[in-house]
């Protein structure tokens, strides 16, 4: 399965130009098997996403893109989240206490919202975003180095805020993911790989062969200032 793990919807991410309906339509056309909505510091779309998923028969999972004091962290499998910024370690512990999982989003993007070298200071992350649809190649390569160094799952995601970004990067799952419980379980077992979309199909990138990752052709299509 190919799943886009990091997407922003306009109802609760103020810098997004995408509705959930648009995201699902584009995701289906590109061949994504499921999507994850991860709004900025917010999970209020959960009820609508659940209803729309049931209506369309398309898997829609809801996580959060939390802006910790050390940078953005994506989390799944939680019912609650902090209403104020806390440290990365506090947030990771908060997620794990609820039985959830989390990963570092675009850790080396040049907008100062990634965890950067703070990755060395925390424990409990499950993965690192090594392909991100709004992050330049050099930053992705450095993230991949940290994924290997820290033995964390390398994932890919679009971090989309505009239509042309939906699904430009995604994650390959070697198992069926039909629920958030499945998603959390997958992060605990591993085996996922980052992928990018080109010429009508997804291409898996091996973490030890990141040189195969093409230039950031999707970066130039960025139309708005995306926070993360």
Check pLDDT > 60 for residue 220: no
- Whole-number average pLDDT of the chain: 93
Instruction: From residue 200, give the alpha-carbon distance in Å to each of 87, 105, 107, 185, 196.
Output: 40, 25, 28, 29, 10
Q: Is 131 helix (H, G, I), strand (E, B) or coil?
A: strand
Phi, psi of 51 (to 5 degrees): -65, -45
Do 147 and 108 contact (CB within 8 A), yes or no?
Answer: no
Given the structure tokens 């999982």, which residue do they identify? 101
| Backbone torsions φ then ψ of 25, nearest 5 degrees | -60, -45
- At 90-123, the pLDDT tens digits run 999 999 999 999 999 999 998 889 999 999 999 9
The CATH class, in words, for 2-220 is alpha beta
- pLDDT tens digits for range 48-99: 999 999 999 999 999 999 999 999 999 999 999 999 999 999 999 999 999 9
> In the chain, pLDDT over 90 holds for what percent of residues?
87
pLDDT of amino acid 228:
59
Which DSSP helix (H) or strand (E) runs through 49?
helix 46-56
Give residue 218's pLDDT band: very low, low, confident or very high (50, 70, 90): low
How many other C-beta atoms are found inside a 10 Å radius of the C-beta of residue 119?
A: 22
Does 220 or 47 have the greater pLDDT score? 47
Q: With 50 as the cut, is the pLDDT of residue 222 above it?
A: no
Under 8 Å between Cβ of 36 and 11: no
Q: What is the pLDDT of residue 210?
A: 81
pLDDT (0 to 100) of residue 153:
98
**pTM for the model:** 0.94
């Amino acid at each position: 399965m190919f799943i886009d793990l990091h997407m922003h919807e306009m109802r609760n991410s103020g810098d997004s130009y995408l509705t959930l309906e648009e995201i699902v339509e584009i995701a289906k056309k590109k061949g994504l098997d499921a999507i994850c909505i991860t709004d900025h510091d917010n999970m209020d779309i959960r009820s609508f996403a659940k209803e729309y998923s049931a209506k369309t028969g398309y898997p829609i999972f809801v996580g959060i893109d939390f802006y910790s004091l050390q940078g953005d962290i994506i989390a799944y499998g939680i019912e609650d989240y902090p209403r104020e910024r806390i440290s990365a370690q506090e947030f990771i512990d908060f997620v794990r206490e609820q039985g959830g999982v989390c990963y570092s989003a675009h850790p080396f993007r040049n907008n100062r919202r990634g965890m950067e070298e703070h990755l060395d200071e925390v424990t409990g992350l499950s993965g690192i975003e090594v392909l991100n649809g709004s992050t330049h190649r050099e930053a992705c390569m450095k993230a991949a180095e940290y994924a290997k160094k820290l033995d964390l799952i390398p994932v890919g995601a679009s971090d989309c805020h505009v239509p042309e970004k939906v699904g430009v990067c995604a994650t390959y799952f070697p198992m069926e993911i039909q629920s958030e419980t499945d998603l959390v379980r997958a992060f605990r077992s591993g085996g996922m790989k980052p992928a990018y979309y080109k010429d009508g199909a997804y291409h898996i990138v091996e973490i030890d062969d990141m040189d195969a990752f093409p230039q950031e052709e999707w970066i130039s299509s960025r139309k708005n200032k995306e926070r993360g």
